[in-house]
Structure 1
């Protein structure tokens, strides 16, 4: 049965042999580059997921209006607080 190659980073035989001969600094640099690429991929995936699932201000206000105990006065307070935070960014 053949191995499936779904990974973006494939460790082949040549690369494995080269890694075995690395000194301390080379291995540290290699591991750091793997960590950085994983971090960047995770960050972009997280940003894409957050952007896809974010609510607009109007959707948020409609959902907040359905909560018992939040009236029109409190809704306006919430709206102004959110708008000032958006302006600060």
Structure 2
């Protein structure tokens, strides 16, 4: 059975043998380095996810503001009454939900 190599840290045979010979302080340093590496990776992943969420919210808010501006402009056009304005609004909102 083949080993999976998509892990962030791979424990090969040489490293395993070296770890078996560690004293208390070396083992503590090794565990600390693994913890710090995982913490750093988690922090970077969390920051990236937060940035994506914030950007989606900003785009969504801009989209809502744009829809409102379009509806205000359409309301000023002669021949577009409240019913047509509601239809236009429904179509724009349906497009907004796809984003």
Q: What TM-score range do you get, normalising by the shorter chain?
A: 0.5 to 0.7
1:22 matched residue in structure 2: 22
User: TM-score, normalised on structure 1?
Assistant: 0.62
C-alpha displacement of 1:53: 0.7
Residue 45 of structure 1 corresponds to which residue in structure 2?
A: 45
If asked which structure has higher relative contact order (CA below 8 Å, sep 6+), I would say 2
Residues matched between the structures, number: 62
Structure showing greater radius of gyration is 2
Q: Distance in 1 between matches of 2:19 and 2:36?
A: 18
Unaligned runs of 5+ in 2: 65-99
TM-score scaled by length of structure 2: 0.56
Residues 25-36 of structure 1: matches in 2 within 5 Å? 25-36=25-36
Over 6 Å off, 4+ runs: none
User: What does 1:9-88 align with in structure 2 at a 5 Å threshold?
Assistant: 9-54=9-54, 55-56=57-58, 59=61
Structure with greater proportional helix content: 2
Segments of structure 1 that go 5 or more residues without pairing to the other structure are 63-89
